[in-house]
Structure 1
Amino acid sequence: MAGALLRLHGNALSRSAALRPSPSLPHRPMMVTMSQNQSYWASVNAEIDAHLKQAIDPLRPPREVFEPMHHLAFAAPQNKAPALCVAACELVGGHRDQATAAASALHLMCAASFTHEQLPLTDRPRPRPRTSSRPTAHHAYGPNIELLVPDSMTPFGFELLAKSDDPAQNNSGRILRVTVEIARAMGPQGIVDGQYQELERPQSDHTRWIKRVCKKKEGGFHACAAACGAILGGGSEEEIEMLRRFGLYVGMIQGMLHGVGRKEKGLAKMVEELRTLALKELEEFKGGKAEAIASFLC
């Protein structure tokens, strides 16, 4: 199964062909303590939450839209992609304020997607369990509200992103590029395709599940988040693509652990291979920021 995983990625994995450390480039694992992980994560997520709470005032008119939007945005399980966007921005030398709006947009779109996946439809499999530090009991509203309100969360996310366009920072080109990146990741070639494949393909076919679901959904979404952060932080094209690949591996690991199952035979080896590949993408980055973003693999 592990060999099949390597073949799935073609050129994306061939650049990191050797899974074992090369004698000419010794592998030095990054060391990040659990307290450092929690502190960094907590600070990034707190700023994203604060930005969203200010933007989605439940008393804002029309209240019948913003009140359930506020609830659904914070009832969905926490996803690593928004924080990864901020971490990537900081890694290439940017300030987290440059990526907060994009991270907030990604959070909203992820929450909208999650809510739609949990709708009590009778012609789909039972929703798979998710692990999260946040509550998943989000059914405070009827299916009609949970169907309609998430449809407003995606354009509202793009609105937040557009408002971050600041002539003083000369960031219009970056904002436009990030808008395209997010639209592509959320659209028919990204998460929507992954959701369709998730319904059509059994989890027992692990190779196809990883390629068609994990790579399209969690992999593509996290790849987009990391690339967007690097773009907004002013990273070079090489840095953007390295972080895009890093995000892909982070997301695929999340998809595999949540979708295929932690106890599945061979899964641990596959996850470790992806972790090795992800760390290789960080070898050109130095310092504490590199260690912080490496903690997304924990």
Structure 2
Amino acid sequence: MAKTLCSINPPLHVGARINHSRPLLKCRSQGGGLRRVVVNMSLSHHHQHNHDKHHINQPYWAAINDQIQAHLKKVVTVKDPVSVFEPMHHLVFSSPLDTAPALCVAACDLVGGGGGCGGDQALAAAAALQIIHAAYNTHEYLPLSDRPSLMPKASPGPMGHHAFGPNVELLTGDGMVPFGLELVAKSDDPAQNSSKRILRVIVEITRAIGSLGVVDGQYSELQCSQLDGNGSWHVELINNTCEKKEGGLHACAAACGAILGGGSEEEIERLRMFGLYVGMIRGTLLRYSPEKRSIRVEELRDLALKELEGFDGANVKAISSFIEGNLSHV
């Protein structure tokens, strides 16, 4: 099937463009007009918030991201059938690096599981989360003209160049999700008696990306794009989008890291809530104008930091800098 699709769909080179026929989420500026909002959430740049209590530990996050990338290069290779794995390889490495996978590894470190089998399994889970993120990113930037754009874009998206046709990207994106889950399953080590943890992590991921998770957030985002931007119903939809999409994925990542690191149930739930608040900060930054988001972001920041109060060790400062890395873009 994949070979047939490739034969009828030669590589396309679609110029980056904004599709004006697709409705955009509306954010109002102080002057009352509508404007587009874009926020750079990269962890690779060192900034500091005005009231920063924790310096952003850029080397720590850079090292984690390097580990994730190195692991991805080992497991996502171009092999037979080439018609399947070549587009998968391209789509995984052409998508931007998400922040949730790094949080998975950091959470594992925080509960003391970074040095052994748990650390390797957390790295596999982080790679899976990045592959799943790449699948969603691929579907968001398919070169189609009849699908509404849900995220505001002030500039062309990262998928401006398409090496494959939309049907190949669509099917490959669908296949990347189970491929990511397979990586988690293969990380199981019976000698370490970790099968229950692996199964639990797979359940966590499938719930986070399913009908009560990301899909729910996508539906709220679609509803939100069809409103005029006024009223409490609009705000409720935006908040639900932030909670289910960015919040849910980051909560899942942090919980998975804690599970694989051997954390207690209390530690797992604390890190789950930490991830939820951190992810919601990211979603809030993406969807609200500066004058509307500042109070909400500070509330989420305080809630996130409070979840770390029960932890000890140097890694607490490192993981808390994850928040400041997001806040530096306010």
1:181 matched residue in structure 2: 204
Evaluate the alpha carbon distance shift between residue 126 and residue 199 of structure 1 in structure 2; reply closer, same or farther with a 3 A threshold: closer
2:104 matched residue in structure 1: 85
Q: Is the 8 A contact 1:77 1:130 kept in 2?
A: no
1:245 matched residue in structure 2: 273
1:42-96 C-alpha deviation (Å, 9 max, x unpaired): 11111111111111112x1111111111111122222110000000011011013
Larger C-alpha radius of gyration, 1 or 2? 2
Whichever structure has more helix as a proportion of its residues is 1
Q: Is the 8 A contact 2:224 2:238 kept in 1?
A: no
1:47 alignment partner AA? Q
- Aligned-pair CA distance for 1:136: 4.5
Q: Secondary structure at the match of 1:128?
A: coil
Q: Is the 8 A contact 2:138 2:159 kept in 1?
A: no
Matches within 5 A, 1:29-178: 31-34=53-56, 37-58=57-78, 60-95=79-114, 96-119=119-142, 120-125=144-149, 127-129=151-153, 135-178=158-201
| RMSD of aligned Cα (Å) | 2.0
Question: 5+ residue gaps in structure 2?
Answer: 1-50, 326-330
Higher RCO, 1 or 2 (CA under 8 Å, sep at least 6)? 2
Evaluate the alpha carbon distance shift between residue 225 and residue 276 of structure 1 in structure 2; reply closer, same or farther with a 3 A threshold: same
Q: Which moved more, 1:153-162 or 1:90-99?
A: 90-99
Q: Is the 8 A contact 2:217 2:245 kept in 1?
A: yes
Q: Give the Cα separation in 2 of the matches to 1:248 and 1:267.
A: 17
Q: Which moved more, 1:283-292 or 1:113-122?
A: 113-122
Q: Is the 8 A contact 1:249 1:275 kept in 2?
A: yes
1:12 matched residue in structure 2: none
Q: Give the Cα separation in 1 of the matches to 2:213 and 2:145.
A: 22
- Aligned-pair CA distance for 1:258: 1.4
Q: Is the 8 A contact 2:121 2:184 kept in 1?
A: no
Overall identity of the aligned pairs, in % = 58
TM-score (norm: length of structure 1):
0.83
- Aligned-pair CA distance for 1:278: 0.2
2:317 matched residue in structure 1: 291
Q: Is the 8 A contact 1:30 1:294 kept in 2?
A: no
1:26 matched residue in structure 2: none
Q: Secondary structure at the match of 1:124?
A: coil
1:72 alignment partner AA? L
Q: Secondary structure at the match of 2:190?
A: coil
Question: 5+ residue gaps in structure 1?
Answer: 1-28
2:39 matched residue in structure 1: none
TM-score (norm: length of structure 2):
0.75
Evaluate the alpha carbon distance shift between residue 165 and residue 130 of structure 1 in structure 2; reply closer, same or farther with a 3 A threshold: farther
Q: Give the Cα separation in 1 of the matches to 2:249 and 2:146.
A: 27
Q: Is the 8 A contact 1:82 1:104 kept in 2?
A: yes
Q: Is the 8 A contact 2:221 2:238 kept in 1?
A: no
1:63 alignment partner AA? V
- Aligned-pair CA distance for 1:266: 2.5
